[in-house]
Amino acid sequence: MNHKQLKLSAIALSVVLGLSACSGEPPKQKVQNAAAEPVKQMEAAKEVTKQDIQSAAQRIGKSAANWQIAQFGNLDYIPDSHRAKSENAKFWIQAAFYIGLTRWIDATDDQKLENFVKEVAERENYELILERPYHADDHAIAQTYLWLAEREGIQEAYGPTKEVFDMILNKPPQVGLEMSDSESSTGKYHLEGNCQLRWCWADALFMAPRAWAQMTKVTGDPKYLEYGDKEFWASADYLFSEDYGLFYRDSRYFDAKSDNGEPVFWGRGNGWVFAAIPMIIEQLPEGHPSKERYIKLYKKNAEGLMALQKEDGYWPASLMDPDKVRTPEVSGTGFITFGLAWGVNNGILTDQRSKDIVEKGWEAIAKAVTDDGRVHWVQHVGKSPDPVKESDSQLYGTGAVLLAASEMLKWDK
Protein backbone atom coordinates (compact mmCIF):
# COMPACT_ATOMS: atom_id res chain seq x y z
CA MET A 1 0.00 0.00 0.00
CA ASN A 2 1.25 3.45 -0.77
CA HIS A 3 -0.79 5.43 1.69
CA LYS A 4 1.05 5.75 5.00
CA GLN A 5 -2.04 5.29 7.14
CA LEU A 6 -3.16 2.15 5.36
CA LYS A 7 0.38 0.84 5.70
CA LEU A 8 0.28 1.35 9.43
CA SER A 9 -3.16 -0.23 9.70
CA ALA A 10 -1.69 -3.44 8.32
CA ILE A 11 0.96 -3.34 11.01
CA ALA A 12 -1.67 -2.67 13.65
CA LEU A 13 -3.59 -5.79 12.72
CA SER A 14 -0.81 -8.22 11.84
CA VAL A 15 1.96 -7.15 14.22
CA VAL A 16 0.57 -5.19 17.14
CA LEU A 17 -2.38 -7.53 17.60
CA GLY A 18 0.01 -10.47 17.41
CA LEU A 19 -1.12 -12.28 14.26
CA SER A 20 2.32 -13.83 13.86
CA ALA A 21 1.53 -17.54 13.85
CA CYS A 22 2.25 -19.22 10.52
CA SER A 23 -0.31 -21.24 8.60
CA GLY A 24 0.36 -24.02 6.16
CA GLU A 25 0.38 -21.54 3.31
CA PRO A 26 2.77 -18.63 2.77
CA PRO A 27 1.80 -15.79 5.11
CA LYS A 28 -0.85 -13.48 3.77
CA GLN A 29 -1.79 -10.06 5.05
CA LYS A 30 -4.61 -10.63 7.51
CA VAL A 31 -6.51 -7.37 7.27
CA GLN A 32 -10.03 -6.41 6.41
CA ASN A 33 -10.76 -5.33 2.86
CA ALA A 34 -9.74 -1.66 2.73
CA ALA A 35 -12.26 -0.83 0.03
CA ALA A 36 -15.11 -2.42 1.97
CA GLU A 37 -14.35 -0.86 5.34
CA PRO A 38 -12.24 2.29 4.84
CA VAL A 39 -13.50 3.90 8.03
CA LYS A 40 -12.33 0.99 10.17
CA GLN A 41 -8.99 1.01 8.36
CA MET A 42 -8.47 4.67 9.15
CA GLU A 43 -9.50 4.21 12.75
CA ALA A 44 -6.98 1.37 13.11
CA ALA A 45 -4.32 3.51 11.51
CA LYS A 46 -4.90 6.35 13.97
CA GLU A 47 -4.38 3.99 16.89
CA VAL A 48 -0.94 2.83 15.74
CA THR A 49 2.01 4.62 17.29
CA LYS A 50 5.74 4.17 17.38
CA GLN A 51 5.22 2.68 20.85
CA ASP A 52 3.07 -0.04 19.28
CA ILE A 53 5.83 -1.00 16.86
CA GLN A 54 8.44 -0.91 19.60
CA SER A 55 6.24 -3.05 21.83
CA ALA A 56 5.85 -5.63 19.08
CA ALA A 57 9.62 -5.65 18.55
CA GLN A 58 10.15 -6.19 22.27
CA ARG A 59 7.75 -9.12 22.32
CA ILE A 60 9.05 -10.77 19.16
CA GLY A 61 12.73 -10.31 19.97
CA LYS A 62 12.40 -11.61 23.51
CA SER A 63 10.36 -14.65 22.53
CA ALA A 64 12.67 -15.51 19.61
CA ALA A 65 15.79 -15.28 21.78
CA ASN A 66 14.30 -17.40 24.55
CA TRP A 67 12.87 -20.01 22.17
CA GLN A 68 16.19 -20.46 20.41
CA ILE A 69 18.15 -20.78 23.65
CA ALA A 70 15.64 -23.34 24.94
CA GLN A 71 16.39 -25.55 21.91
CA PHE A 72 20.08 -26.06 22.64
CA GLY A 73 20.60 -29.75 23.20
CA ASN A 74 17.48 -30.50 21.16
CA LEU A 75 18.17 -29.39 17.60
CA ASP A 76 16.38 -32.31 15.99
CA TYR A 77 14.41 -29.91 13.79
CA ILE A 78 17.63 -29.22 11.86
CA PRO A 79 18.54 -31.69 9.07
CA ASP A 80 21.14 -34.32 9.95
CA SER A 81 23.51 -32.93 7.33
CA HIS A 82 24.09 -29.77 9.39
CA ARG A 83 22.97 -30.70 12.89
CA ALA A 84 26.40 -31.47 14.33
CA LYS A 85 27.81 -28.18 13.05
CA SER A 86 24.74 -26.37 14.37
CA GLU A 87 25.47 -27.81 17.82
CA ASN A 88 29.02 -26.41 17.77
CA ALA A 89 29.07 -23.00 19.46
CA LYS A 90 32.27 -22.04 17.62
CA PHE A 91 30.85 -22.73 14.17
CA TRP A 92 29.35 -19.90 12.11
CA ILE A 93 25.76 -21.20 12.41
CA GLN A 94 25.58 -20.55 16.14
CA ALA A 95 27.93 -17.59 15.86
CA ALA A 96 25.46 -15.78 13.59
CA PHE A 97 22.79 -16.26 16.26
CA TYR A 98 25.08 -14.76 18.91
CA ILE A 99 25.77 -11.74 16.70
CA GLY A 100 22.03 -11.06 16.66
CA LEU A 101 21.67 -11.91 20.34
CA THR A 102 24.45 -9.57 21.47
CA ARG A 103 22.92 -6.80 19.38
CA TRP A 104 19.61 -7.47 21.12
CA ILE A 105 21.33 -7.34 24.52
CA ASP A 106 22.87 -3.98 23.60
CA ALA A 107 19.35 -2.70 22.84
CA THR A 108 17.61 -4.17 25.90
CA ASP A 109 20.35 -4.57 28.52
CA ASP A 110 18.90 -8.02 29.31
CA GLN A 111 21.21 -9.32 32.05
CA LYS A 112 19.92 -12.87 31.89
CA LEU A 113 20.75 -13.14 28.20
CA GLU A 114 24.11 -11.49 28.76
CA ASN A 115 24.96 -14.06 31.43
CA PHE A 116 24.02 -16.82 29.00
CA VAL A 117 26.42 -15.45 26.39
CA LYS A 118 29.20 -15.19 28.98
CA GLU A 119 28.65 -18.79 30.03
CA VAL A 120 28.84 -20.02 26.45
CA ALA A 121 32.04 -18.06 25.77
CA GLU A 122 33.67 -19.26 28.98
CA ARG A 123 32.72 -22.85 28.23
CA GLU A 124 34.39 -22.56 24.82
CA ASN A 125 37.49 -20.99 26.43
CA TYR A 126 37.10 -18.08 24.00
CA GLU A 127 38.64 -20.29 21.31
CA LEU A 128 38.15 -20.44 17.56
CA ILE A 129 37.98 -23.52 15.34
CA LEU A 130 41.60 -24.01 14.32
CA GLU A 131 41.32 -26.57 11.51
CA ARG A 132 40.79 -23.68 9.06
CA PRO A 133 42.53 -20.73 10.74
CA TYR A 134 42.18 -18.43 7.72
CA HIS A 135 38.53 -19.21 7.03
CA ALA A 136 36.14 -16.29 7.64
CA ASP A 137 33.35 -18.56 8.87
CA ASP A 138 35.52 -19.61 11.79
CA HIS A 139 36.15 -16.00 12.78
CA ALA A 140 32.44 -15.25 13.26
CA ILE A 141 32.38 -16.37 16.90
CA ALA A 142 35.22 -13.93 17.58
CA GLN A 143 32.69 -11.10 17.28
CA THR A 144 30.99 -12.35 20.44
CA TYR A 145 34.25 -12.82 22.34
CA LEU A 146 35.38 -9.33 21.37
CA TRP A 147 31.96 -7.93 22.30
CA LEU A 148 32.49 -9.37 25.78
CA ALA A 149 36.01 -8.00 25.94
CA GLU A 150 34.74 -4.50 25.23
CA ARG A 151 31.49 -4.65 27.20
CA GLU A 152 32.74 -6.56 30.23
CA GLY A 153 36.45 -5.77 30.12
CA ILE A 154 37.29 -9.48 30.00
CA GLN A 155 40.89 -9.43 28.75
CA GLU A 156 41.17 -13.19 28.24
CA ALA A 157 38.17 -13.06 25.92
CA TYR A 158 40.24 -11.87 22.97
CA GLY A 159 43.57 -13.67 23.57
CA PRO A 160 42.95 -16.78 21.40
CA THR A 161 41.54 -14.71 18.54
CA LYS A 162 44.50 -12.35 18.71
CA GLU A 163 46.87 -15.30 18.31
CA VAL A 164 45.07 -16.42 15.14
CA PHE A 165 44.87 -12.90 13.70
CA ASP A 166 48.55 -12.29 14.44
CA MET A 167 49.43 -15.51 12.63
CA ILE A 168 47.44 -14.36 9.58
CA LEU A 169 49.17 -10.98 9.62
CA ASN A 170 52.57 -12.67 9.78
CA LYS A 171 51.65 -15.09 6.96
CA PRO A 172 49.02 -13.31 4.87
CA PRO A 173 47.34 -15.47 2.23
CA GLN A 174 48.75 -15.17 -1.28
CA VAL A 175 45.75 -16.31 -3.33
CA GLY A 176 43.30 -14.66 -5.69
CA LEU A 177 39.55 -14.25 -5.21
CA GLU A 178 38.28 -16.51 -7.99
CA MET A 179 36.30 -19.47 -6.63
CA SER A 180 37.29 -22.77 -8.18
CA ASP A 181 34.89 -25.67 -8.43
CA SER A 182 37.18 -28.04 -6.54
CA GLU A 183 36.63 -28.56 -2.84
CA SER A 184 39.18 -29.71 -0.29
CA SER A 185 38.82 -31.08 3.20
CA THR A 186 40.42 -30.17 6.50
CA GLY A 187 38.99 -33.06 8.44
CA LYS A 188 35.34 -32.42 9.27
CA TYR A 189 35.48 -28.94 7.71
CA HIS A 190 35.97 -28.12 4.05
CA LEU A 191 37.00 -25.38 1.69
CA GLU A 192 34.87 -24.61 -1.35
CA GLY A 193 38.02 -23.37 -3.01
CA ASN A 194 41.53 -22.26 -2.15
CA CYS A 195 40.41 -18.62 -2.40
CA GLN A 196 38.63 -19.08 0.94
CA LEU A 197 41.93 -18.33 2.60
CA ARG A 198 40.65 -14.83 1.83
CA TRP A 199 37.11 -13.36 1.79
CA CYS A 200 36.12 -14.44 -1.70
CA TRP A 201 32.42 -15.11 -1.04
CA ALA A 202 29.66 -12.77 0.14
CA ASP A 203 28.95 -14.55 3.43
CA ALA A 204 32.53 -13.92 4.56
CA LEU A 205 31.93 -10.19 4.76
CA PHE A 206 29.45 -10.81 7.59
CA MET A 207 31.60 -13.37 9.38
CA ALA A 208 35.03 -11.77 9.63
CA PRO A 209 35.68 -8.05 8.89
CA ARG A 210 33.82 -6.69 11.92
CA ALA A 211 35.93 -8.90 14.19
CA TRP A 212 39.13 -7.38 12.80
CA ALA A 213 37.77 -3.90 13.49
CA GLN A 214 36.74 -4.95 16.99
CA MET A 215 40.24 -6.25 17.66
CA THR A 216 41.68 -2.83 16.95
CA LYS A 217 39.14 -1.28 19.29
CA VAL A 218 39.97 -3.57 22.23
CA THR A 219 43.76 -3.60 21.72
CA GLY A 220 44.30 -0.12 20.35
CA ASP A 221 46.50 -1.53 17.59
CA PRO A 222 45.46 -0.23 14.15
CA LYS A 223 46.99 -3.12 12.21
CA TYR A 224 43.92 -5.34 12.62
CA LEU A 225 41.47 -2.79 11.23
CA GLU A 226 43.93 -1.97 8.45
CA TYR A 227 43.98 -5.61 7.33
CA GLY A 228 40.22 -6.05 7.67
CA ASP A 229 39.50 -2.83 5.79
CA LYS A 230 41.88 -3.73 2.95
CA GLU A 231 40.49 -7.24 2.56
CA PHE A 232 36.88 -6.09 2.79
CA TRP A 233 37.32 -3.71 -0.11
CA ALA A 234 39.21 -6.25 -2.19
CA SER A 235 36.22 -8.59 -1.88
CA ALA A 236 33.50 -5.96 -2.12
CA ASP A 237 34.99 -4.44 -5.27
CA TYR A 238 35.24 -7.93 -6.75
CA LEU A 239 31.74 -9.17 -5.89
CA PHE A 240 29.59 -6.03 -6.08
CA SER A 241 27.65 -5.30 -9.27
CA GLU A 242 27.42 -1.60 -9.96
CA ASP A 243 24.75 -2.34 -12.57
CA TYR A 244 22.37 -4.01 -10.14
CA GLY A 245 23.47 -2.66 -6.75
CA LEU A 246 23.80 -6.24 -5.50
CA PHE A 247 26.48 -8.71 -4.47
CA TYR A 248 27.25 -11.93 -6.31
CA ARG A 249 27.72 -14.79 -3.89
CA ASP A 250 31.10 -15.66 -5.46
CA SER A 251 32.79 -15.63 -8.86
CA ARG A 252 30.93 -18.73 -10.05
CA TYR A 253 27.78 -16.60 -10.26
CA PHE A 254 29.19 -13.82 -12.44
CA ASP A 255 27.76 -15.41 -15.56
CA ALA A 256 25.05 -17.63 -14.02
CA LYS A 257 21.46 -17.12 -15.14
CA SER A 258 18.23 -17.99 -13.37
CA ASP A 259 15.29 -19.70 -15.08
CA ASN A 260 14.05 -16.34 -16.32
CA GLY A 261 17.41 -15.45 -17.86
CA GLU A 262 18.28 -12.90 -15.16
CA PRO A 263 21.54 -12.91 -13.13
CA VAL A 264 21.57 -15.01 -9.96
CA PHE A 265 21.76 -12.85 -6.84
CA TRP A 266 21.13 -14.85 -3.66
CA GLY A 267 18.84 -13.15 -1.14
CA ARG A 268 20.63 -14.29 2.02
CA GLY A 269 24.02 -13.75 0.40
CA ASN A 270 23.13 -10.10 -0.07
CA GLY A 271 21.60 -10.03 3.39
CA TRP A 272 24.88 -11.19 4.94
CA VAL A 273 26.79 -8.29 3.42
CA PHE A 274 24.11 -5.64 3.86
CA ALA A 275 23.75 -6.46 7.57
CA ALA A 276 27.52 -6.40 8.03
CA ILE A 277 28.14 -2.95 6.58
CA PRO A 278 26.36 -1.01 9.38
CA MET A 279 28.10 -3.05 12.07
CA ILE A 280 31.49 -2.41 10.48
CA ILE A 281 30.77 1.33 10.19
CA GLU A 282 29.96 1.43 13.91
CA GLN A 283 33.40 0.01 14.74
CA LEU A 284 35.35 2.60 12.76
CA PRO A 285 37.19 5.22 14.80
CA GLU A 286 36.21 8.85 14.39
CA GLY A 287 37.44 10.28 11.13
CA HIS A 288 38.42 6.95 9.57
CA PRO A 289 39.15 7.53 5.86
CA SER A 290 37.02 4.58 4.70
CA LYS A 291 33.82 5.61 6.47
CA GLU A 292 32.34 7.58 3.57
CA ARG A 293 33.24 4.76 1.22
CA TYR A 294 31.28 2.27 3.36
CA ILE A 295 28.29 4.63 3.46
CA LYS A 296 28.40 5.09 -0.31
CA LEU A 297 28.43 1.31 -0.81
CA TYR A 298 25.63 0.95 1.75
CA LYS A 299 23.43 3.40 -0.15
CA LYS A 300 24.02 1.67 -3.50
CA ASN A 301 23.25 -1.75 -2.01
CA ALA A 302 20.19 -0.37 -0.21
CA GLU A 303 18.79 1.03 -3.43
CA GLY A 304 19.34 -2.23 -5.28
CA LEU A 305 17.61 -4.19 -2.53
CA MET A 306 14.68 -1.85 -1.95
CA ALA A 307 13.66 -2.17 -5.60
CA LEU A 308 13.25 -5.95 -5.18
CA GLN A 309 11.04 -6.29 -2.10
CA LYS A 310 7.97 -8.39 -2.91
CA GLU A 311 4.42 -7.26 -2.31
CA ASP A 312 4.18 -9.55 0.73
CA GLY A 313 7.15 -7.75 2.35
CA TYR A 314 9.72 -10.52 1.91
CA TRP A 315 12.77 -10.43 -0.31
CA PRO A 316 12.98 -13.33 -2.76
CA ALA A 317 15.50 -16.11 -2.19
CA SER A 318 16.58 -15.39 -5.77
CA LEU A 319 16.45 -11.61 -5.89
CA MET A 320 16.07 -11.22 -9.65
CA ASP A 321 13.80 -14.25 -10.09
CA PRO A 322 11.02 -14.22 -7.46
CA ASP A 323 9.35 -17.20 -9.15
CA LYS A 324 12.40 -19.39 -8.49
CA VAL A 325 11.41 -19.78 -4.83
CA ARG A 326 7.92 -18.41 -4.24
CA THR A 327 7.67 -19.04 -0.51
CA PRO A 328 8.81 -16.52 2.11
CA GLU A 329 12.48 -16.54 3.13
CA VAL A 330 13.13 -14.97 6.50
CA SER A 331 16.89 -15.02 6.97
CA GLY A 332 17.59 -12.78 4.00
CA THR A 333 14.56 -10.62 4.79
CA GLY A 334 15.69 -10.25 8.41
CA PHE A 335 19.21 -9.17 7.53
CA ILE A 336 18.00 -6.75 4.86
CA THR A 337 15.30 -5.24 7.10
CA PHE A 338 17.89 -4.74 9.84
CA GLY A 339 20.21 -2.95 7.45
CA LEU A 340 17.50 -0.67 6.11
CA ALA A 341 16.10 0.10 9.57
CA TRP A 342 19.60 1.02 10.72
CA GLY A 343 19.89 3.42 7.80
CA VAL A 344 16.60 5.09 8.69
CA ASN A 345 17.36 5.24 12.41
CA ASN A 346 20.77 6.80 11.72
CA GLY A 347 19.55 9.41 9.26
CA ILE A 348 21.17 7.89 6.17
CA LEU A 349 17.89 6.87 4.53
CA THR A 350 15.47 9.75 5.03
CA ASP A 351 12.76 9.35 2.38
CA GLN A 352 9.29 8.01 3.08
CA ARG A 353 9.73 5.12 0.65
CA SER A 354 12.60 3.71 2.72
CA LYS A 355 10.54 3.94 5.90
CA ASP A 356 7.59 2.20 4.27
CA ILE A 357 9.80 -0.63 3.01
CA VAL A 358 11.24 -1.16 6.49
CA GLU A 359 7.78 -1.35 8.04
CA LYS A 360 6.61 -3.75 5.35
CA GLY A 361 9.67 -5.95 5.89
CA TRP A 362 9.18 -5.93 9.64
CA GLU A 363 5.53 -6.85 9.22
CA ALA A 364 6.58 -9.83 7.08
CA ILE A 365 9.12 -10.96 9.66
CA ALA A 366 6.54 -10.74 12.43
CA LYS A 367 4.21 -13.06 10.52
CA ALA A 368 6.92 -15.71 10.35
CA VAL A 369 7.54 -15.82 14.12
CA THR A 370 5.08 -17.89 16.10
CA ASP A 371 3.84 -16.80 19.51
CA ASP A 372 6.37 -19.05 21.26
CA GLY A 373 9.24 -17.43 19.33
CA ARG A 374 10.07 -20.01 16.69
CA VAL A 375 11.26 -18.42 13.44
CA HIS A 376 9.83 -20.12 10.34
CA TRP A 377 10.60 -19.99 6.60
CA VAL A 378 14.41 -19.99 7.00
CA GLN A 379 16.39 -21.41 4.09
CA HIS A 380 18.76 -24.08 5.35
CA VAL A 381 22.53 -23.93 4.93
CA GLY A 382 23.50 -23.34 1.32
CA LYS A 383 25.11 -21.00 -1.15
CA SER A 384 22.31 -20.34 -3.64
CA PRO A 385 18.53 -19.79 -3.76
CA ASP A 386 16.98 -23.08 -2.60
CA PRO A 387 13.42 -24.16 -1.73
CA VAL A 388 12.09 -23.24 1.72
CA LYS A 389 9.34 -24.84 3.81
CA GLU A 390 7.33 -23.19 6.55
CA SER A 391 8.82 -25.51 9.19
CA ASP A 392 12.41 -24.73 8.18
CA SER A 393 14.21 -22.94 11.00
CA GLN A 394 17.85 -22.25 11.80
CA LEU A 395 19.91 -20.36 14.35
CA TYR A 396 21.12 -17.72 11.93
CA GLY A 397 17.50 -17.03 10.99
CA THR A 398 16.78 -16.21 14.61
CA GLY A 399 19.92 -14.07 14.64
CA ALA A 400 18.59 -12.12 11.66
CA VAL A 401 15.24 -11.57 13.40
CA LEU A 402 17.01 -10.32 16.53
CA LEU A 403 19.04 -7.87 14.48
CA ALA A 404 15.88 -6.49 12.88
CA ALA A 405 14.01 -6.39 16.20
CA SER A 406 16.88 -4.51 17.85
CA GLU A 407 16.49 -1.69 15.32
CA MET A 408 12.68 -1.69 15.45
CA LEU A 409 12.93 -1.12 19.21
CA LYS A 410 14.29 2.32 18.26
CA TRP A 411 11.69 3.01 15.56
CA ASP A 412 10.57 6.61 15.85
CA LYS A 413 9.10 7.26 12.41
- Does the structure show a pLDDT above 50 at 376? yes
Dist CA 7 CA 34 (whole Å)? 11
Q: For the segment 95-153, what is each residue's pLDDT rounded down to a tens digit?
A: 999 999 999 999 999 999 999 999 999 999 999 999 999 999 999 999 999 999 999 99
Higher-pLDDT residue of 5 and 370 is 370
- Does the structure show a pLDDT above 80 at 13? no
Average pLDDT, whole number, for the chain?
89
Catalytic residues: 203
Higher-pLDDT residue of 46 and 199 is 199
Give residue 185's pLDDT: 55
Give residue 183's pLDDT: 61
CA dihedral angle for residue 20, residue 106, residue 380, residue 229, rounded to 10 degrees? 140
Dist CA 92 CA 115 (whole Å)? 21
Give residue 180's pLDDT: 80
Q: For the segment 59-80, what is each residue's pLDDT rounded down to a tens digit?
A: 999 999 999 999 999 999 999 9
Distances (CA, A) of 310 to 244, 306, 325, 386: 17, 9, 12, 17
- Does the structure show a pLDDT above 50 at 37? no
Three-state SS string over the chain comes to CCCHHHHHHHHHHHHHCCCCCCCCCCCCCCCCCCCCCHHHHHHHHHHCCHHHHHHHHHHHHHHHHHHHHHCCCCCCCCCHHHHHHHCCCCCHHHHHHHHHHHHHHHHHCCHHHHHHHHHHHHHCCCCCCCCCCCCHHHHCCHHHHHHHHHHHCCHHHCHHHHHHHHHHHHCCCCCCCCCCCCCEEECCEEECCHHHHCCCCCCHHHHCHHHHHHHHHHHCCCHHHHHHHHHHHHHHHHHEECCCCEECCCHHHCCCECCCCCECCEHHHHHHHHHHHHHHHHHCCCCCCCHHHHHHHHHHHHHHHHCCCCCCCCCCCECCCCCCCCCCCHHHHHHHHHHHHHHHHCCCCCCHHHHHHHHHHHHHHHHCECCCCCECCCCCCCCCCCCCCCCCCCHHHHHHHHHHHHHHCCCCC
Class of 4-408 in CATH: mainly alpha
Query: 73's torsion region: left (phi>0), alpha (psi -120 to 50) or beta?
Result: left
Give residue 25's pLDDT: 40
- What percent of the chain has pLDDT above 70? 86
Q: For the segment 248-259, what is each residue's pLDDT rounded down to a tens digit?
A: 999 999 999 999
- Does the structure show a pLDDT above 50 at 27? no
Give residue 28's pLDDT: 36
- Does the structure show a pLDDT above 60 at 156? yes
Confidence of residue 14 (pLDDT cuts 50, 70, 90): very low
Give residue 188's pLDDT: 66
- Does the structure show a pLDDT above 80 at 391? yes
Give residue 49's pLDDT: 78
Among 21-25, 271-275, 408-412, the minimum mean pLDDT is found in: 21-25
Give residue 273's pLDDT: 98
Dist CA 399 CA 213 (whole Å)? 21
- What percent of the chain has pLDDT above 90? 83
Asked if 375 and 397 count as a contact pair (C-beta separation under 8 A), the reply is yes
Higher-pLDDT residue of 287 and 413 is 287
Confidence of residue 331 (pLDDT cuts 50, 70, 90): very high
- Does the structure show a pLDDT above 80 at 276? yes
Domain residue limits, the chain: 4-408
- Does the structure show a pLDDT above 70 at 5? no
Q: Which residues contact 247 (CB under 8 A, 6 or more apart)?
A: 202, 236, 239, 240, 241, 265, 269, 270, 273, 301
Give residue 413's pLDDT: 83
Q: For the segment 77-94, what is each residue's pLDDT rounded down to a tens digit?
A: 999 999 999 999 999 999
Give residue 48's pLDDT: 54
